[in-house]
Copies of this chain bind each other. A is one copy, B any other.
Amino acid sequence: MTAAQRDLGEAAFLADFAELSAIGATAAGGVHREAGTAADGRAREWLRSWFVAHGLRCLIDPVGNMYGCGEVVADAPYVLIGSHLDSQPTSGRFDGAYGVLAAAYAAARLQADPPEGARLNVAAVNWFNEEGSRFSPSLMGSGVFIGKFGADEILDTADLGGVTVREALQAIGFQGSDSAPTAAAFAEIHIEQGRTLIDEGLDIGVVNTNWTAYKYVVSVVGEQSHTGATHMRYRHDALVGASHVVLAVRAVADEFPDGTMLSSVGQMTVHPNSPVVVPSRVRLAADLRSLDAHLLEQAHQSLTTKLADIEAAGEVRVIVESAVLRPSKAYPEAGATLAGAVADELGLRWRTLPTMAGHDSVNLCGVVPTVMLFVPSVDGISHNEREFTTDAQMTAGVRMLTGTARRLLTGALEEAVVT
């Protein structure tokens, strides 16, 4: 059987998705497959085998991005399509992995059956460490691809246990030496991770912009002492200070109309973290997010004031180690128009909408013409083992991505404005 004769139908897709979902699976139906772990390594080996078995040439670049390249036009640049195989801890099986497998199917279908007038090649991509849970920041692989980060800077980044990206990639055999293919356009399909499509009974979302975000790393510094022998008036308790910070971050979101502002502290490490020692230092990662850059700036000012107030109370120092703005970007209108036409042709119900979560496409958008597609998330649940998208919703999305990439291969967005 040649690659072109391989079964690229919807039943095969669902069987492959089940096989991929079994790698790093949790008992509750999710996956635990953080970037650069052994489970990520096994998922990557599975994908490499799939690429090769389906006639896509597998390239791996120095930061672990994997490309399954289908050649249609000799020496032409590539329409990249894809997402990420890494997951959050104890998370859902759809986030990222669905988009990678959908892209693999689309790339193999298009190589086997290219559109008339194709001017570009196609490659499915698995970006390294989209999630940013083990290694921070998130969107690492696509960030190096677009030149936002240097490869060495990323390879030297360590997790909380001191293991670097370089060591982790080498341990799983995925620090490659291939050059990345040249991109002429990018398309990604992903679960929505929100309730818009499911609430409105739609099949497909076409992203027109992204929520903007401030991401903070904050250290709270007190003084280590004995919980059982230090009177309260002498305490400089970093965990008490950090608890005020967590509640201040929450309070900022509550100052804005419901649905317009998100805030959270997802990560916190306490030092020395002994039951009988007053904590000396707490480090935490916080974020504020809004669709409206103006509101976000107000929230940032409000948080800045609250953090200063916590320090002014005198118990602890509050040090904002970094405050990074992820700005809002407009996805090209021509891409949304193109995707809408594909959806109409396929009889899929669709709308445009912003993405609340960050995606690799946010990195690519503004560098090459980019299309970002959503399939529905049942109950909007995400970063949770109960994340769910139906088989019919998934296969409709594969048709949608294939149809979109088919048009991109003809150079349909070559004239699109890159914002």
A residues within 8 Å of B by Cβ? 88-91, 131-133, 136, 138, 192-194, 211, 213, 215, 223-235, 237, 239-240, 242-244, 246-247, 250, 253-254, 258-259, 261-280, 285, 287, 289, 356-358, 380-385
Decide: A228 and B356 in contact? CB cutoff 8 A: yes
CA distance A402 to B213 in the complex (A): 66
Decide: B246 and A275 in contact? CB cutoff 8 A: no
* Nearest B residue to A234, CB-CB: B380
- Min C-beta distance of A286 to chain B, whole Å: 8
* Nearest B residue to A281, CB-CB: B90
* Nearest B residue to A232, CB-CB: B253
Decide: B88 and A272 in contact? CB cutoff 8 A: yes
* Nearest B residue to A261, CB-CB: B232
Decide: B239 and A246 in contact? CB cutoff 8 A: yes
- Min C-beta distance of A312 to chain B, whole Å: 17
CA distance A232 to B215 in the complex (A): 17
Interface centre among A224, A228, A239, A267 (most CB of B within 10 A): A228
Decide: A384 and B224 in contact? CB cutoff 8 A: yes
Partner of A254, one of B88, B229, B232, B250: B232
CA distance A265 to B279 in the complex (A): 8
- Min C-beta distance of A198 to chain B, whole Å: 13
* Nearest B residue to A235, CB-CB: B264
Decide: B262 and A227 in contact? CB cutoff 8 A: yes
Decide: B246 and A268 in contact? CB cutoff 8 A: no
CA distance A39 to B230 in the complex (A): 27
Q: Report B-chain residues with C-beta under 8 Å of the C-beta of A270.
A: 267-268
Decide: A275 and B268 in contact? CB cutoff 8 A: no
CA distance A223 to B289 in the complex (A): 20
Decide: A89 and B272 in contact? CB cutoff 8 A: yes
Partner of A89, one of B132, B274, B380: B274
CA distance A131 to B277 in the complex (A): 10
Partner of A273, one of B226, B267, B276: B267
Q: Report B-chain residues with C-beta under 8 Å of the C-beta of A247.
A: 240, 243-244, 247
- Min C-beta distance of A209 to chain B, whole Å: 14
Partner of A278, one of B240, B266, B271: B266
Interface centre among A138, A266, A268 (most CB of B within 10 A): A266
- Min C-beta distance of A164 to chain B, whole Å: 18
CA distance A187 to B3 in the complex (A): 81
- Min C-beta distance of A28 to chain B, whole Å: 11
Q: Which 6 A-B pairs have the closest CB atoms?
A: A133-B274, A89-B272, A243-B243, A275-B285, A193-B229, A243-B246
CA distance A261 to B235 in the complex (A): 13
- Min C-beta distance of A237 to chain B, whole Å: 7
Decide: A250 and B237 in contact? CB cutoff 8 A: yes
- Min C-beta distance of A214 to chain B, whole Å: 12
Q: Report B-chain residues with C-beta under 8 Å of the C-beta of A356.
A: 228-229
Decide: B223 and A239 in contact? CB cutoff 8 A: no
Decide: B275 and A229 in contact? CB cutoff 8 A: no
Decide: B88 and A383 in contact? CB cutoff 8 A: no
Decide: B357 and A228 in contact? CB cutoff 8 A: yes
- Min C-beta distance of A261 to chain B, whole Å: 8
Partner of A275, one of B194, B253, B258, B266: B266
Decide: B88 and A277 in contact? CB cutoff 8 A: yes
- Min C-beta distance of A316 to chain B, whole Å: 12
CA distance A226 to B358 in the complex (A): 11
Decide: A279 and B258 in contact? CB cutoff 8 A: no
